[in-house]
């Protein structure tokens, strides 16, 4: 999934190269040459990753970092510096940065680092979706579910965003009796398989729309619907079910 990247460096070459390459990979990139502009952008956009120069004009990246984290607590900060002896992984961690890069650095390591950080964030967000849906239906201990229901539940949580997925696609290979599996799932979880699948998709859709990271017309595809019409019908099916209020983005 594309991310929003902030590059803060007074070197225009670094800003230009990172912006061009990361844009080519599908990310939205903004650049700032000083702390004031960086803070303004951080308060305006929900960035996922920030490349922050250790030494900036007027004030250092170290001084700027706490304010950036206050503006965007979920933003992963990568400190970049030409001073290898001053900045290492341990020091960067103590400052609050999650990673560091020593100048000069290659483009591929920077791109790989973005992919790594965005992948970790996506995994954390998926875990939040699953935890919220389990809590909604009172599934507190998956390991205590009967084997068939546990298999289907875990398979659904791993593949709910796949378009066209059905219960028969997720059934244990040794079982070919869909009515039996459907009944077993409902007895163990308390709701039909279709309701659990719907809840996963709607939870993810709510979070995507709340964060505003993707265009609204891309949300249906990202939660398993091939058309907006199918997504709209699913939203209507969800009416009447309890809906958790999501915090609004800052």
| Average pLDDT per block of 10 residues along the chain, 250 residues long | 89 94 93 94 93 86 88 90 59 68 87 93 92 94 94 95 91 84 94 95 90 78 90 82 44
Segment (H or E) for 155:
helix 147-159
**What are the tokens at 187?**
């007895």
Model pLDDT, residue 181: 93
* This prediction's pTM: 0.74
Q: 53-87: b or e for each residue (b if 16 or more CB lie within 10 Å)?
A: bbbbeeeebbebbeebbebbeebbbbbbbeeeeeb
Task: Say how far apart CA 59 and CA 206 lie, in whole Å.
Answer: 39
Model pLDDT, residue 54: 86
**Domains of the chain in sequence order:** 4-119 (3.40.50.2300), 137-238 (1.10.10.60)
């Amino acid at each position: 999934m594309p991310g929003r990247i902030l590059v803060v460096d007074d070197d225009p070459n670094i800003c230009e190269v990172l912006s061009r390459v990361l844009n080519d990979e599908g990310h939205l990139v903004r650049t700032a040459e000083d702390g004031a502009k960086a803070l303004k952008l951080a308060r305006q956009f929900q960035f996922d990753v920030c490349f922050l120069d250790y030494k900036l004009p007027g004030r250092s990246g170290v001084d700027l970092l706490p304010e950036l984290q206050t503006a965007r607590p979920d933003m992963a900060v990568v400190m970049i510096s030409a001073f290898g002896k001053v900045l290492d992984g341990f020091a960067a961690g103590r400052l609050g940065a999650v990673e560091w890069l020593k100048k000069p650095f290659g483009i591929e390591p920077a791109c790989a680092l973005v992919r790594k950080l965005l992948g970790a964030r996506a995994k954390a967000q998926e875990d939040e979706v699953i935890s919220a849906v389990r809590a909604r239906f009172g599934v507190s201990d998956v390991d205590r579910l009967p084997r068939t229901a546990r298999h289907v539940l875990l398979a659904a949580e791993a593949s709910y965003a796949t378009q066209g997925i059905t219960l028969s696609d997720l059934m244990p290979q040794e079982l070919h009796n869909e009515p039996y599996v459907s009944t077993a799932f409902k007895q163990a979880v308390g709701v039909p398989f279709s309701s659990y699948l719907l809840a996963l998709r709607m939870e993810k859709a709510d979070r995507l729309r709340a964060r505003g990271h993707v265009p609204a017309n891309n949300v249906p595809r990202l939660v398993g619907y091939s058309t907006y019409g199918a997504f709209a019908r699913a939203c209507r099916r969800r009416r009447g079910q309890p809906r958790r209020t999501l915090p609004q983005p800052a």
